[in-house]
């Protein structure tokens, strides 16, 4: 009989590529993870992982078991959801990880809506960038992620996750007030090819949006200044340090003295925001109202 908790460990090792990283994500010791993998290999009668200088990789047998693991764990999530529904689970805590603007736009309004529609549900919110929040869901550190599409992100049909689209928003060009394009109605990105750029660090989903937009315009941006805080990005642009692309919602309520904000000429760079939960958990009586409240906040 294969134990489900060992399947969680197998998937964590596959996701994180090292025993040490998987152990940290699961709040276990590396030796405990290794012991559980050994026990799983004994249960299945197959060698499931191979250790090398660059980490751990699954064997062919391990890949086969992993494909079933995703289905089994999703079904267990559904079983928990149905049992909770049976018990009329109308009270409890749901942990949500979201990037800062997502908290302001949809998570905080969802808290207000839930206080009215499902007062027994309490949200615990954590600030996390989109590329960090999805692994947190998979590792069961949080229940819901509000994340941004980015290159390398799990696709919408990923067997481990259920996606709920929330909203999409354009990026606007932010240039110093004295910039040569400050009077333009729209800013062609190609005209900024030789400017110094200010943008998020690699790994931040918004970094991918900026770089891809510039690549589509025919150039690689010269990112001379980096910050994941868009207030810092705008402050640097105001000081004449460079130009930037900033999500429109992040500019709300910000001090824009010293900069000019203009829409991009042509197809606007866009970030697409979605909520994600472990597949099978979307019907849980605590999580379903949270997803509905996030969707209503996004629609509003």
Residues 76 and 96 in one domain: no
Are 15 and 76 members of one domain? Answer: yes
What is the number of structural domains in the chain? 3
Residue 120: which CATH number? 3.40.190.10
Q: Which residue among 83, 112, 146 closes a domain? A: 83
- Domain CATH number, residue 8: 1.10.10.10
Using only C-alpha atoms, the chain has a radius of gyration, in whole angstroms, of 22
Average pLDDT over residues 69-74: 84
pLDDT at site 90: 67
Same domain for 276 and 163, yes or no, is yes
- For residues 176 and 215, membership in a common domain is answered with yes
Q: Indicate whether 120 and 109 sit together in one domain.
A: yes
C-alpha 249/C-alpha 19 separation (Å) is 39
Asked whether residue 248 carries a pLDDT value surpassing 90, the answer given is: yes
Same domain, 151 and 266: no
Which domain-ending residue is among 83, 114, 137?
Answer: 83
User: Distance between the two ends of the chain, CA-based, in angstroms?
Assistant: 49
Is the pLDDT at 87 greater than 70, yes or no?
A: no
Q: Are residues 267 and 177 both part of a single domain?
A: yes
Q: What is the pLDDT of residue 88?
A: 60
Rounded to whole angstroms, the Cα distance separating 148 from 1 reads 39
My answer on whether 233 and 172 are in the same domain is yes
Chain mean position to CA 48: 29
Residues 221 and 279 in one domain: no
Dig out the tokens for 212 from the structure.
């891809």
- DSSP symbols for 101-136: HHIIIIIHHHHHHHHHH-TTEEEEEEE--HHHHHHH
| Averaged pLDDT, 254-258 | 92
Q: What is the pLDDT of residues 156-210, one digit of tens each?
A: 889 999 999 999 999 999 999 999 999 999 999 999 999 999 999 988 888 989 9
Nearest-angstrom CA–CA distance, 39 and 69? 16
Give the ranges where the chain is alpha helix by DSSP (H).
4-16, 19-26, 30-44, 60-86, 100-102, 108-117, 130-138, 205-216, 230-238, 287-299
DSSP string for 50-92 = EEETTEEEE-HHHHHHHHHHHHHHHHHHHHHHHHHHHTT---E
Residues 6+ apart with CB under 8 A from 33: 9, 12, 13, 19, 22, 23, 26
Whether 30 and 48 share a structural domain? yes
Tell me the pLDDT tens digit for each residue of 168-177: 999 999 999 9
The answer to whether 107 touches 96, Cβ cutoff 8 Å, is: yes
Out of 36, 61, 83, a domain closes at 83
CA distance linking residue 1 with residue 83, whole number of Å: 23
How sure is the predictor about 30, in pLDDT bands with cuts at 50, 70 and 90? Answer: confident
Packing angle between helix 4-16 and helix 30-44, nearest 10 degrees? 120
Residue 118 CA to residue 147 CA, distance in Å, equals 24
Residue 75's domain spans which residues?
4-83
Question: Counting Cβ atoms within 10 Å, is residue 20 exposed (0-12), middle (13-18) or buried (19+)?
Answer: middle
Co-location of 68 and 130 in the same domain: no
Return the residue matching tokens 């692309």. Answer: 245
Is pTM beyond 0.75? Reply is: no
Q: Are residues 291 and 210 in the same domain?
A: no
pLDDT tens sequence across 211-232 = 999 999 999 999 999 999 999 9
Query: What span, in angstroms and rounded, lies between the C-alpha atoms of 16 and 149?
Result: 20
């Amino acid at each position: 009989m294969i134990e489900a908790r060992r399947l969680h460990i197998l998937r964590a090792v596959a996701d994180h590529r090292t025993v040490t990283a998987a152990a940290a994500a699961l709040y276990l010791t590396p030796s405990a993870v290794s012991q559980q993998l050994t026990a799983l290999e004994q249960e299945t009668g197959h060698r499931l992982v191979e250790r090398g200088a660059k980490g751990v990789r699954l064997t062919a047998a391990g890949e086969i078991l992993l494909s079933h693991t995703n289905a089994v764990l999703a079904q267990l999530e559904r079983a928990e959801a149905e049992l909770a529904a049976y018990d009329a689970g109308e009270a409890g805590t749901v942990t949500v990880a979201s990037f800062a603007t997502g908290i302001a736009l949809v998570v905080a309004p969802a808290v207000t809506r839930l206080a009215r529609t499902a007062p027994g549900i309490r949200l615990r919110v954590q600030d996390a960038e989109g590329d960090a929040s999805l692994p947190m869901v998979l590792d069961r550190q949080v229940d819901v992620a509000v994340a941004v599409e980015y290159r390398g992100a799990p696709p919408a049909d990923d067997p481990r996750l259920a996606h709920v689209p929330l909203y999409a928003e354009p990026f606007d060009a932010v240039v110093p007030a004295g910039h040569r394009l400050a009077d333009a109605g729209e800013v062609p990105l190609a005209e900024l090819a030789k400017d110094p750029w200010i943008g998020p660090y690699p790994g931040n989903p918004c970094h991918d949006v900026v770089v891809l937009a510039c690549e589509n315009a025919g150039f690689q941006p010269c990112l001379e200044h980096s910050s994941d805080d868009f207030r810092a990005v705008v402050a640097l642009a105001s000081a004449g340090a460079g130009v930037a692309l900033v999500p429109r919602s992040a500019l709300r309520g910000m001090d824009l003295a010293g900069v000019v904000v203009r829409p991009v000429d042509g197809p606007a760079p866009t970030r697409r925001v979605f909520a994600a939960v472990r597949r099978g958990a979307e019907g849980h009586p605590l999580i379903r109202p949270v997803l509905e409240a996030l969707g209503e906040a996004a629609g509003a």
